[in-house]
Structure 1
Amino acid sequence: MLSVVDSQKKSPKIKILFFISSLAGGGAERVMVDILRYIDRSRFDPLLVLLYPHADSPYRQYLPEDLRVVVIARKTDGVPAKLMQLARFMKAVRQEKPDVMVSMLTHNNIMALLAGIFFRIKVIPCEHNTLSEVVKTAEGGRMLGLPVAPMVKLLYRFADKIVAVSEGIRTDLIGAFGLEPDKVMTIPNPVDLNRIGHLSLDSAEHPFFRDQNPVVIAMGRLTEQKGFDILLKAFSRVIAAEDARLIIMGEGSQREYLGNIIGELGITDKVSLPGFEKNPYAFLARSNLFVLSSRFEGMPMALLEAMACGLPVIATDCRSGPREILENGQCGVLVPVNDEAALAEAMTGLLKDKRLRTELSEGGKGRVKEFFVKEIVRQYEEIIFGLGLPQNEKWN
C-alpha cells in the first residue's frame, strides 16, 4: 500500500509557463506577480519567462523566492534581433515542456500561441486592454513590421481559453475579432488588499504633502492613452477655484511633451511629475482625490488601487473597465473622454464637497473587496483545471 507521501509523488504538478515581456511598473505586470505569489504550489509548478532583465524591477521583491525565472533578452530593437528573440523563446518552450502557457499582453500572446501551435501546448492568453483601440496605436498596431489585428484574428482562434480582464474587453474580442464567445472568459484584475494596506502606511516624501493644499493624484505610463494632457488642462481650470496640487506618478514617452504643457499653462509650481514610485500606495493614501483620465483602458489597476487606499475617484467613461469598476458611477464619478471642462468641473466639485468625498471613499473600499486576490487567482486555477490535462485526474 502506498503511503501518503508516495501517493503525492505519484500526482505530478501541472507545469505552467507564465510569460510576459517584463516586470516594469504596470497593471498587467502586477497581476502576473500576484498570480505567481498566490497560485497553489501544491498543485502547480510555475515558471516565469521574461524578455527583459528584472534585476531592477520594483516587483522583483514580491516574487516567490523559489520561483525559477528565465530571461530571453535582446541587445537591440531591430527586426533581426526580435526574430532571434522569438526563436530563442520557442527553444525555451521546447526545452521546458510546460503543460500549459499563460501569457499576458498582445504581442506576448502572439508569441505564446505560435509556440503552442508548433509544440502542441495548451495556451491561455490574457488581454488587459481594449484591443480594437490598441491596434490603432503606433506601439501596439504592428509586430515585426506586420499588422497585429490580422494576427490576432488568426492566432487567437487556436487559444484553449482566453482571459479578458473586463466584460468590455470580452465584448470587444468577440465583436471586433470574431472570437467564439464560449472561449473568452472574464476574470477581473486581483487586488492584494493586505499588501496595499501595509505599504500605504509608509511615509511619502514630497513637498506637496507638507502644506494644507489638497492634492489630486494620478498614475500610469506617460503615454497618449492615459490622457494626462487633458488632465493637466483640466487642472489648470481647477486652480482658479481651488488652490490644489497635482502629482502624476509614472514614466513614459510623453514626459517632455507633458512638461511643455505644464510650462505653457503656467502651473509649474503646482504640478509634479516625480517619475515611477516604488511605493505608490503611500502617495495615494496621503492624497485627497484620484483621477483616471485615460482615453481607453482594460481594467485599470491604478483605479482599483486608489480605491483600496480609500481615495474618492474620478474616471473617464472610456472603453473599458471604469464603468464596470465604479458600478455605473455609484462608487466614483464618471466623466466623458477628452472633455477637460467636464473633468475640471468634477474635480472642483469633489474638492469642495467633503461629505461626497467621504461617501465615495467608503463605497470604493467596499467595492474593491470584490477583487480580492486569492479569489481571482482561484478563478485562473479553475480555468487551467478545466483544460482537461492528464494531471487533473490525479487531483479529482
Structure 2
Amino acid sequence: MDRAAQAVMPERLRVGLLVDTLVGGGAERMSLTFAECFRAMGHDAHVILLRDVVEHDTRGVPVHALSDTARLHALRPLNKLMLARRLRQTVRRIEADGKPFDFFISNAEDMDRISAMARLPTVFIRYRNSLLLFLRAKVGNATGVKRYIRAWRWMRKFRRIYGGRHIVAISKAMERELVQDCGIEPASITTIYNPFDFERIRALAQEPAADLPTQPYILYVARMSGRKDQETLIRAYAEARLPHLLVLLGGTTSAKEEAYRKHIETLIAELGLGGRVLMPGFRANPYPWIRHAALFALSSRSEGLPLVLVEALILGTPVVSTDCPTGPGEILAGDLARFLSPVGDVPALAANLRAALAGYPKIDPALLERFRDDYAINRYLAHFRRITGGRDRATRAPAGSMRSR
C-alpha cells in the first residue's frame, strides 16, 4: 500500500452515502459496500435514498429515504428544490445527536445535483458513468446548428453540476475523460477503485442457490438494457456453437428496460436458442451463480468500473469482456488483456468465449489487491484529510449552513 492508503483516522467519522434506491445495479450495491466497510472500521455510516425502494440486505446499515417516489412536485425544478430541502432536513435530523457528518459520497446523478442544492459540506462525487457517452445519446442524430446547440447546452449543464466539486473517478480512464475530454474543472479529482470485501463475497458464494443450472454455463450478470448489450453476447454465443448454456442474470427497472428484455426474448427465439439461453431474473445474491459459472462474459457498450468483472476474478471464475469505456481495460491487465474484444464485435467476442473455455491463465492474486476494501476506504479517508486540511469537527459547519457552500 502507498502512504495515502495507510492513513489512520484519529477520530470516529460520520459518513453519508447518497444514492437513488437500493434496487439491483452496481451503484446501489456499492453504496452498501461503502457503508459496511466504513462501519467495520469503526466509523458511523448512513445510506440516504431518494426513493424508499430496497431490494438488498442492508445488514444493519441505517437507511433513510427522502420520499416514496422522489416525485414531490409535477414541475421538475420545484421537485429538485423540494428534494434538496428533504435531504437537508434528513441530514439535520440524523445530526440531532450532536455529531455532524464529516463527508458524503454521492453515487447517483440526481444526488450529485441535489447534494449541491442542499449545500451539503464535503461531498465526494463518484464519477462512475461516462458523460461523453451520455452526451452522444442526448445529441442523437441531430446535425448542423441543432447538434451544436444541444451539445453546448448539455456541456454547460455538466460544468454547472460538476465544476468546482470534489470528484473521485472510479477508473483512471474516467478521470482523464472528465478533465481532458469534457473540460470540467473540479475543485479536486483523484482515482480510487471501488472497494470489495473479498471475504464476504467468497462467503456469499458458498450459500445455496436452489435453481442453479445443472449443466455447465456461461454467465452475464447485468440489468437488461441496451448499454449492457446482451444482444451482442447472445449473437456471439450462437456463433461460438458451445455446449454450455448461457445464463443472463438480471432484471428490469423501467419500461424501456422491459421493452429491451422482450426484444432479447424475440432474438433468442429467432436464433433457435430456446432452452439454451436462460433468464432467471434478478438475484440479490448472484455470487453462487458466478462461482459455479464456467465463464463470466461481459458485453457492455460502456461501464464505469464493472463490479462483476472484479467479483468474478475474486471468485476465481474466468472472464472475457468487451473493451468498452471504461474499466475493463484496467481490470483485465497482463495475460488477461487478450480476452478483451471491441465493443459490438460479435466474431471477436465469440472467439474469446471459445479461447477462454479452452484454456485460461492463472488469475494472479496480486492483480486484485488494489480492489481490497481496506485499501480503497483508507484512500478515501486520506483524501478527506487532504481536502479538509485535517480540520476537526469543531471547525466544520453543519449541513445547510452558509459556511457549507
Instruction: Flag whether TM exceeds 0.5 (same fold).
Output: yes
Match of 2:235 in 1: 233
Which amino acid in the other structure matches residue 29 of structure 2?
Answer: R
Q: Deviations over 1:324-365 (max 9, x none)?
A: 0111553661111100011111112222x2xx22x24x33x5
Matches within 5 A, 1:65-76: 67=62, 69-74=64-69
- The TM-score normalised by the length of structure 1 is 0.82
Q: How many angstroms apart in 2 are the aligned matches of 1:369 and 1:90?
A: 40
Q: 1:188 aligns to what SS in structure 2?
A: coil
Match of 2:274 in 1: 268
Match of 1:7 in 2: none
Match of 2:37 in 1: 38
Q: Deviations over 1:100-144 (max 9, x none)?
A: 33211223212212222xx6x222111112221133346xxxxxx
The 1:82/1:205 distance shift into structure 2, 3 A limit, reads farther
CA contact (8 A) 1:13 1:43 kept: yes
Q: How many angstroms apart in 2 are the aligned matches of 1:392 and 1:277?
A: 41
CA contact (8 A) 1:36 1:63 kept: no
Match of 2:287 in 1: 281
Matches within 5 A, 1:58-97: 58-60=56-58, 62-64=59-61, 67=62, 69-74=64-69, 79-80=74-75, 83-84=78-79, 86-93=81-88, 96-97=91-92
Answering whether residue 114 of structure 2 is matched by residue 114 of structure 1, we say: no
CA contact (8 A) 2:126 2:167 kept: yes
The 1:46/1:75 distance shift into structure 2, 3 A limit, reads closer
Q: How many angstroms apart in 2 are the aligned matches of 1:236 and 1:158?
A: 48
Q: How many angstroms apart in 2 are the aligned matches of 1:63 and 1:331?
A: 39
The 1:18/1:261 distance shift into structure 2, 3 A limit, reads same
Q: How many angstroms apart in 1 are the aligned matches of 2:60 and 2:86?
A: 24
Q: 1:348 aligns to what SS in structure 2?
A: helix
Gaps of 5+ in 1: 1-10, 139-145
- The TM-score normalised by the length of structure 2 is 0.80
Match of 1:187 in 2: 192
CA contact (8 A) 2:51 2:70 kept: no
CA contact (8 A) 1:25 1:276 kept: yes
Kindly tell me the number of residue pairs found equivalent between the two proteins.
360
Post-superposition offset of 1:184: 1.4
Match of 1:210 in 2: 214
Which amino acid in the other structure matches residue 34 of structure 2?
Answer: I
CA contact (8 A) 2:81 2:117 kept: no
Q: How many angstroms apart in 2 are the aligned matches of 1:41 and 1:274?
A: 33
Match of 1:21 in 2: 20
Match of 2:47 in 1: 48
Which amino acid in the other structure matches residue 234 of structure 2?
Answer: L
Match of 2:368 in 1: 368
Match of 2:351 in 1: 345
Which amino acid in the other structure matches residue 219 of structure 2?
Answer: I
Higher-RCO chain (CA-CA 8 Å, sequence separation at least 6): 2
Runs of at least 4 residues off by over 4 Å: 11-14, 40-44, 75-79
Q: 2:336 aligns to what SS in structure 1?
A: coil
The 1:237/1:37 distance shift into structure 2, 3 A limit, reads same
CA contact (8 A) 2:71 2:79 kept: no
Which amino acid in the other structure matches residue 130 of structure 1?
Answer: S
Post-superposition offset of 1:87: 1.2
Question: CA RMSD for the aligned pairs?
Answer: 2.9
CA contact (8 A) 2:18 2:108 kept: no
Q: Deviations over 1:197-221 (max 9, x none)?
A: 11111223336x323xx31111111
Answering whether residue 226 of structure 2 is matched by residue 224 of structure 1, we say: yes
CA contact (8 A) 1:25 1:59 kept: no
Matches within 5 A, 1:286-305: 286-305=292-311
Match of 1:171 in 2: 176
Identity %: 25
CA contact (8 A) 1:15 1:100 kept: yes
